[in-house]
Amino acid sequence: MNAPTSLKTNFKQYLEKTKVKGAAVPAGLQELLLAVADTCNTLSHEVAQGALIGLLGSAGTGNVQGEVQQKLDVIANDLLIDGVQTCKSLAGLASEEMELPLPVQGIGDYLLLFDPLDGSSNIDVNVSIGTIFSVLKKQEPKAPLQTSDFLLSGRHQVAAGYVVYGPQTTMALTLGDGVVMFTLNKVTGEFILIKHAVEISHSTKEFAINMSNMRHWAEPVRRYVEECLAGTSGERDKDFNMRWIASMVADVHRVLSRGGIFMYPWDQREPHKPGKLRLMYEANPMSFLVEQAGGASTNGKELIMDLVPTELHERVSVMLGSKEEIDRLRHYHA
């Protein structure tokens, strides 16, 4: 089947001609984002090969989070480092899979953070997984790279996005002026613009949460979900649908595509931990996308984008998506 004729803008052309609040995208940022997209193209082909190239299963190692690394976690991390480290505009990068940031040879001041492979538990069962990225600007360009350079709130992000490796490989991106989506043409290797001005509907009848943790949740989250489950016979007076893919990338992609909310809240299994998901390379980039699409994102008490991190691998409670539902959750937490 031929592509519709309207689908002809590739990612490079988009970056060259788009304006962010009236200004062109800086050449250095274009260079970096193109390198990320190129690497995700490569990764998408590797992901699709799976067992054929010995890619499934555990790597037999652990990361700084104390999680078992899958082979693909390590491969994706190495590919991304290789793909971006020669970017002249890059000062350093940080990853879920590395304890410390990595300085690079670039002379620029961009900082890249990524979750190289999100949804690790889904790799071996052939369910959608992805890559999440966030771009910050180093505040003191000339000083040697330090972990503290990365510890900026989500409001400092100049770009953020994800690539979901599903039936299609699709990238969502924000440069701070709305959200756009591109789908990878696997023959030409180009990401083609498929949607602009992505908007999350303010109301929804769909929620996503790992229900098996219900008994551990805090009261406001339990109340919210119980009311959804009560449907037309309860407070909400409407029936809700539930989804849980267990890859944040795929769950958030659904929220951006047809509305809904996604939650991975604090729970009492490990009460000292603010949550499971990581602020800097999971929650912040997703929150930037969601806010730019007219949705909202909170840890219950504060907007996630306003949180000032104190650690690179800081965790956070996450509730994001359709605005009316997030407002309700914030109200329940007040």
Binding residues (CB under 6 A) for ligand AHG: these are: 67, 96, 115, 118-121, 210, 246-248, 264, 276
Task: Tell me the closest approach of the beta carbon of residue 14 to ligand AHG, in angstroms.
Answer: 27
Report the C-alpha gap between 105 and 87 in whole angstroms.
8
Residue 246: contacted member of ligand AHG, Mn ion, none (CB under 5 to 8 Å, by partner type): ligand AHG
Task: Tell me the closest approach of the beta carbon of residue 118 to ligand AHG, in angstroms.
Answer: 4
Q: Specify whether the CB–CB gap between 97 and 284 falls below 8 A.
A: no
- Residue 155 or 216 with smaller CB distance to ligand AHG: 216
Task: Tell me the closest approach of the beta carbon of residue 249 to ligand AHG, in angstroms.
Answer: 7
Report the C-alpha gap between 236 and 288 in whole angstroms.
28
- Residue 193 or 312 with smaller CB distance to Mn ion: 312
- Residue 192 or 279 with smaller CB distance to Mn ion: 279
Residue 297: contacted member of ligand AHG, Mn ion, none (CB under 5 to 8 Å, by partner type): none
Q: How many residues bind Mn ion (CB under 5 A)?
A: 4
- Residue 203 or 210 with smaller CB distance to ligand AHG: 210
Task: Tell me the closest approach of the beta carbon of residue 118 to Mn ion, in angstroms.
Answer: 3
Signed CA dihedral, 6, 9, 14, 19: sign only: negative
- Residue 193 or 261 with smaller CB distance to ligand AHG: 261
- Residue 87 or 286 with smaller CB distance to ligand AHG: 286
Cα distance between the two ends of the chain: 53
Which class for 219: exposed (0-12), middle (13-18), buried (19 or more C-beta within 10 A)?
exposed
Signed CA dihedral, 116, 329, 136, 149: sign only: negative
Q: Which stretch binds Mn ion (CB under 5 A): 49-57, 92-100, 170-178, 316-324?
A: 92-100
Residue 264: contacted member of Mn ion, ligand AHG, none (CB under 5 to 8 Å, by partner type): ligand AHG
Residue 210: contacted member of ligand AHG, Mn ion, none (CB under 5 to 8 Å, by partner type): ligand AHG
Task: Tell me the closest approach of the beta carbon of residue 277 to Mn ion, in angstroms.
Answer: 7
**Residue 251 in the binding site for Mn ion (CB under 5 A):** no
- Residue 118 or 267 with smaller CB distance to Mn ion: 118
State the binding string over 110-139 for Mn ion (x if CB under 5 A, else -): -----x-xx---------------------
Binding site for Mn ion (CB under 5 A): 96, 115, 117-118
